[in-house]
Structures are given as structure tokens and as C-alpha cells.
């Protein structure tokens, strides 16, 4: 493998246009009733993108394009047509440092991370199956051997696949804010999601968040800093991420000179 960093020109394999969209992201501290409702919705599986993975037709089988490739679905690990489940379990049972990205989009960030850190293990989630297939072609092209992909909703998949405290770093970069009131239930960050992060990230590990929506960043800081298992945002923890390529969205913000907010939370 050549230079472990990816040239941005090479990464620009198709054009994508963004818009800034609305910025009036409003939020309030949660009441006890609102918090209880969020936990009830979580338990009921509401807000999952694409619905619960077990409701996917043929959920116990991988698509043919993913067989014997670094692709998995949490409820298809026993699919004997390929070696995906056996290989993933072996990787997770190793002592390799694990990083996870939830919502990789085009995959620039996590692909660069995997190439920079060949000694580590990486898992990347994106609910859009087409995006996972495009990303798989890039993993194959660059011969990356330490990165697994999934089109599961991470909120269901992660607790089904990972042991508690297995993750060193979880990256959640530019998630959809889900602006509309009726869509808020789909928003990734909620008290039960922070509970999940606290369960999966080892003590001393890191939760890394970025957004170009200031209000969403404020909400995330409120939710995470008020959880007993996390310390408040500490910008000095950015050094633990080190050099990296930006996501496609962050690169676009940079070109447009739009602000980006980053938060770093250490697991106590």
C-alpha cells in the first residue's frame, strides 16, 4: 500500500451538492415525562431508519453482493453462504483497538482513518445500502483490510454485535438534525442513545461529534455532559483524533466558509 493518506482528488469520485438548509434548530431541556417518553419510544423501536433490521425481508441472509466481503448485518451473522460472521467475530474477539463511525455518508473520513491506522479495527454504519455498496468498491480498490461496513441502523446493530466496553472511539459526524417536529423521533442523539454509547465505549474512550448546526451541537453537549458516564466536552481531546481527512460535508463547509462545531467527550 502506498502513502496511507488518501488524496482528496482521488476521493472525489462523484459530485455531490449540499445546501446549508435551515439553521433554526430549537431545543429545550427535557422534562421527566419527555425523557420517559424517549425511553419508551426507544424500547418500541420507533424512529429507526428503515425500520427494525429484523423486519427487513430475508433479514437472516446477506445480500449476494456482500457475501465474503467486509460487510455484515447483525441478524445475518449466521448466514453460512459466506464467511462474514466468522471473520467479524474473530476480528472483534481480537485485542485490536476499535473505532466506529455511525453514518459514514461517502466514507472519506473512515476510509482515511483505516488507512492511517492499519493496526486498528474499524466498523462503519450507513443505512443507505447504495452508499454501502459504493463504499465497498472503494475498500476493495484501496485494498483496505481493517474496515467493516453495515447498512443496519447502528442503534439496533451495535448492542447485538459488540461486547460492553469494546469501542475505543465512536465518531458521529454531521448526522441528520431531523428538523421537523414529526421527524424528531428519528434523531440519533437521545438519552437512550447516550446510554448505549456509555455501554459500548471503554472507560477512557472517546465520543467524537461534529455538526454544522450549532443548536444540534448544543443539544448533544447537554445530553452527553449530563450523563454520569461522560465528562463534559473537552476541546483538548481533539488531539486524540489526530490528522484526518474531513467528511464530504465538512469539506463543503470549509469551501463555503461555514462554521463547524466539534465536541469531544471522554468516557469516565
pLDDT tier at 52 (50, 70, 90 boundaries)? Answer: confident
pLDDT, average across residues 174-190: 92
Could you tell me the CATH number of the domain that includes residue 108?
A: 3.40.50.150
Torsion sign across C-alpha atoms 233, 190, 49, 78: positive
Q: How many structural domains does the chain have?
A: 1
Which region among 9-13, 96-100, 162-166, 167-171 has the lowest average model confidence (pLDDT)? 9-13
Q: The whole model's pTM is what?
A: 0.93
pLDDT tier at 99 (50, 70, 90 boundaries)? Answer: very high
d(CA 125, CA 108): 13
Is residue 2 in a domain? no
d(CA 252, CA 268): 34
- Specify the pLDDT at position 53: 81
Which region among 36-40, 49-53, 137-141, 164-168 has the lowest average model confidence (pLDDT)? 49-53
Say how many CA atoms lie within 13 Å of 256 toward its Cβ.
14
pLDDT, average across residues 191-204: 98
Please give the residue range of the domain that contains residue 199: 8-12+25-266
Contacts of 115 (CB under 8 A, 6+ apart): 1, 4, 5, 6, 142, 144
pLDDT, average across residues 30-44: 96
Is residue 243 in a domain? yes
Q: Which residues are catalytic?
A: 176
Q: What is the 3-state secondary structure (H, E, C) of 116-181?
A: HCCCCEEEEECCCHHHHHHHHHHHHHCCCCCEEEECCCHHHHHHHHCCCCCEEEEEEECCCCCCCH
- Asked whether the predicted pLDDT for residue 4 surpasses 80, the reply is no
Is residue 63 in a domain? yes
Is residue 19 in a domain? no
pLDDT tier at 13 (50, 70, 90 boundaries)? Answer: very low
- DSSP secondary structure string, 70-84? SB--GGGTT-TTSSH
Is residue 208 in a domain? yes
pLDDT tier at 55 (50, 70, 90 boundaries)? Answer: confident
Amino acid at each position: 500500500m502506498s502513502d496511507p493518506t488518501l488524496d482528496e482528488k482521488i476521493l472525489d469520485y462523484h459530485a455531490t451538492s449540499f445546501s446549508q438548509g435551515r439553521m433554526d434548530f430549537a431545543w429545550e431541556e427535557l422534562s421527566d415525562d419527555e425523557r420517559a417518553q424517549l425511553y419508551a419510544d426507544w424500547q418500541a423501536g420507533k424512529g429507526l431508519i428503515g425500520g427494525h433490521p429484523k423486519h427487513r425481508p430475508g433479514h437472516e441472509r446477506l445480500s449476494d453482493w456482500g457475501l465474503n466481503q467486509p460487510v455484515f448485518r447483525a441478524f445475518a451473522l449466521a448466514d453460512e453462504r459466506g464467511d462474514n460472521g466468522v471473520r467479524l467475530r474473530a476480528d472483534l474477539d481480537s485485542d485490536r483497538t476499535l473505532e466506529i463511525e455511525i453514518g459514514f455518508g461517502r466514507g472519506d473520513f473512515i476510509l482515511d482513518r483505516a488507512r492511517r491506522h492499519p493496526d486498528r479495527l474499524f466498523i462503519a454504519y450507513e443505512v443507505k445500502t447504495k452508499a454501502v455498496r459504493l463504499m465497498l468498491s472503494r475498500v476493495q480498490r484501496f485494498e483496505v483490510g481493517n474496515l467493516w461496513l453495515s447498512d443496519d441502523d447502528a442503534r439496533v446493530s451495535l448492542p447485538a454485535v459488540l461486547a460492553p466496553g469494546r469501542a475505543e472511539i465512536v465518531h458521529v459526524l454531521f448526522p441528520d438534525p431531523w428538523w421537523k417536529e414529526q421527524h424528531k423521533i428519528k434523531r440519533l442523539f437521545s438519552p437512550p442513545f447516550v446510554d448505549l454509547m456509555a455501554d459500548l465505549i471503554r472507560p477512557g474512550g472517546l465520543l467524537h461529534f461534529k455538526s454544522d448546526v450549532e443548536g444540534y451541537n448544543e443539544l448533544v453537549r447537554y445530553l452527553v455532559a449530563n450523563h454520569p458516564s461522560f465528562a463534559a466536552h473537552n476541546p483538548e481531546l481533539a488531539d486524540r483524533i489526530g490528522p484526518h481527512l474531513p467528511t464530504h460535508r465538512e469539506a463543503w463547509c470549509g469551501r463555503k466558509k461555514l462554521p463547524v462545531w466539534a465536541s469531544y467527550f471522554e468516557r469516565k
